[in-house]
Homo-oligomer: A and B are copies of this chain.
């Protein structure tokens, strides 16, 4: 099967890419010298696209190109090239609101669905860093700032309704990428699906229990409806630790190709869920039992600092920028405005925890798993970690509204980890 592509499109490789970039002024300006000396290396370890590093005498670049299918699977799973357009659109908007936390964009090529951007070096994918037990002291602060800025400034709290609706209309076109989330996160893990997989037989009973839990499935269905219908702000759409590159001092968010206008809690919750998942995975990566107790503590502090920092920054931005159509300043001031903010954040907190739980369940029982858990070779140990992920995740999806503060979530994570350890001992 050969998938149809628009006129002029071709997928580049290491040999053909430099010649194409030679025609792009922004690339020449960064790489310098004679294009015949440029070298391209395909480095894509993601699931969907081609990713190249290109080196020239004066500098280097990252080039990302969409394929008409899911790279990991092949032509049997087509996926629109337009995802590159949406990624570039979203990245441009995010760069406007949070320039410190996104790679610099140099060029978008609409014929080849190709983005030319800053090569991040020596930044490492945070998921890999966390598997290695690396501490990122400013990660929580940076991500709180990134999330608060990108989400607040694209919401009805900051935008005029006309501009917000125009942005919403644009990103409605990214429906194929949304479909992946709708199916893989909110549906498959709760039902029998060929796409699901889990550590078997260890988790067979647990997976069946989840498929039989009506209250859980009703809560997941409500969250799916929110994902489908709550057009609150422009989301990154896939904000897990694999979409963040960092050094000790810097944090950069990449890959917003799942961007769309959706519920704010989905971005916030996906990051919290992936951090909590990393917490429970540490038992599979420590050199001796409890060898990473300090690292686990850092992760939970990071979860707390991320939510609390996000909440505080979001509220601060809102106080200072009452430029949108929602919650007009002519109606609410002073104490009344603070109270309305509090109610808004409480609702957002509960929804974020629900989305966090969904993203943890899908990484344990669904199609796409995380290296955090996948790299644990001993299946019994891995299943023990995954069981703890599921314990917390189910509580988050079902009982998010009963949790009043992020410290209650981290306390529960600590308790589940301790109980699991005691059971294993």
Contact = CB atoms under 8 A, between A and B. Distances in A.
A169 interface: yes
A252 to B, nearest CB: 29
Interface in A157-211: 161-162, 164-166, 168-170, 172-173, 175-176, 178-179, 182, 187, 190-191
A228 interface: yes
Contacts of A214: 332, 335-336, 339
B182 A218 contact: no
A222 B178 CA distance: 27
Copies of this chain, complex-wide, total: 2
Contact of A229 (B170, B173, B230, B332): B230
Contacts of A176: 162
Interface size class of A (residues with CB under 8 A): 35 or more
A221 B332 contact: yes
A395 interface: no
A169 B173 CA distance: 8
B328 A221 contact: yes
A230 B228 contact: no
A231 interface: yes
A72 to B, nearest CB: 22
A229 B232 contact: yes
A338 to B, nearest CB: 11
A327 interface: yes
A335 B218 CA distance: 11
A165 B82 CA distance: 15
A224 interface: yes
A326 interface: yes
Given A225-B327, A229-B230, A232-B229, A217 B332 contact: yes
